[in-house]
Amino acid sequence: MSFDVNRLEKKINARFNDQALLEQALTHRSIGHCNNERLEFLGDAILGFIVADAIYSKFPTADEGIMSRLRAHVVNGDSLADVAQQLKLSDELILGQGEMKSGGKHRASILADAVEAIIGALYKDQGLASATDWVLAAFKPKLDALSLSLATKDPKTQLQEYMQARGIPVPAYEVVSTTGLDHDQLFTVECRVNNLPELFTAKASSRKKAEQKAASQILKVLLND
């Protein structure tokens, strides 16, 4: 499918004064110098600010740690890639031939970067108010789903704090295998802790998720002892 900026504007529900900015936002670095990396850098900062402000208003009693963890539920690679998929951006990405052949249009990191670049482009084209309106609309389901219960510390952090409080060395995680295509990988992680004899293994679509799964398994054993 060839790139069509008017079709893209309809998909993302935004009109640009300078359509070249929007085209640049979808242009991967594999194309060359004129790519979306600078817009992505800008969009990342703007997205973080907008989401932080929304969380600040929604949870007036939450402290800094809770707000940071809530923001991490919204501003992360998986969340951004999900927004990109909802907007059907895969077919709009402008990629070099090598990146295209390797499945780049489905790669989560590239999709996430494109969303941030769109935010940066919209800010440069129309200012913060327009960028804010777009982010709040695109991320509304994720913002609406936030609750204080989601701000509990993740399993890996809980396990680290558990071990440190007892003077036990923190666990080490090792990726023992990675299978599948670049855009559809499965990571296998192993983890062992000093005070448990068994080796814990977990699989997930990202290293981070696999490590969290392994940490969760270990916590269940430790807390049930």
pLDDT tens readout for residues 192-220: 888 788 889 999 988 989 999 999 898 88
Closest residue by Cα to residue 24 from 15, 11, 33, 12: 33
Q: What are the tens digits of pLDDT across the range 123-156? A: 999 999 999 999 999 999 999 999 988 887 788 9
Q: Does the annotation count 116 as an active-site position?
A: yes
Start-to-end CA span in the chain (Å)? 57
pTM equals 0.74
Rounded to 5 degrees, what are φ and ψ at 192?
-130, 140
Tell me, what DSSP letter sits at residue 30? Answer: G
What pLDDT score does 1 carry? 61
The pLDDT > 70 percentage for the chain reads 97
In a 13 Å sphere around the CA of 214, the CA atoms on its Cβ side amount to 27
Asked if residue 29 lies in contact with residue 23, where contact means CB atoms within 8 angstroms, the answer is no
82, 116, 125, 211: the active-site residue: 116
Query: Residues 144-160, buried b or exposed e (16+ Cβ, 10 A)?
Result: eebeeeebeeebbebbe
For residue 195, how many other CB atoms are within 10 A of its CB? 10
CA distance 29 to 37: 7
Q: What is the CATH number of domain 155-224?
A: 3.30.160.20
pLDDT for residue 41: 98
Of 196, 189, 203, the closest CA to residue 221 belongs to 196
Q: Which residues pair with 192 in a beta bridge?
A: 172
pLDDT, tens digit, 9 for 90 and up, residues 87-97: 999 999 999 99
- Give the list of residues 6+ apart from residue 4 with CB closer than 8 angstroms, or none: none
Give yes or no on whether 5-151 and 155-224 have one common fold. Answer: no
User: Which stretches of the chain are DSSP H helices?
Assistant: 5-12, 19-25, 37-58, 64-74, 77-86, 97-101, 108-126, 128-138, 140-144, 155-165, 207-224
- Cα gap 134→139, rounded to integer Å: 8
119 falls in which pLDDT band (50, 70, 90)? very high
CATH 1.10.1520.10 fits domain 5-151:
yes
Active site residue 18: no
Burial of 97 by CB count in 10 Å (0-12 exposed, 13-18 middle, 19+ buried)? exposed
Instruction: Name the residue ranges covered by the structural domains of the chain.
Output: 5-151, 155-224
Q: Which residues share a beta bridge with 191?
A: 173, 200
- Residues in Cβ contact with 220 at an 8 Å cutoff, skipping those fewer than 6 apart: none
| Catalytically annotated residue among 23, 40, 44, 125 | 44
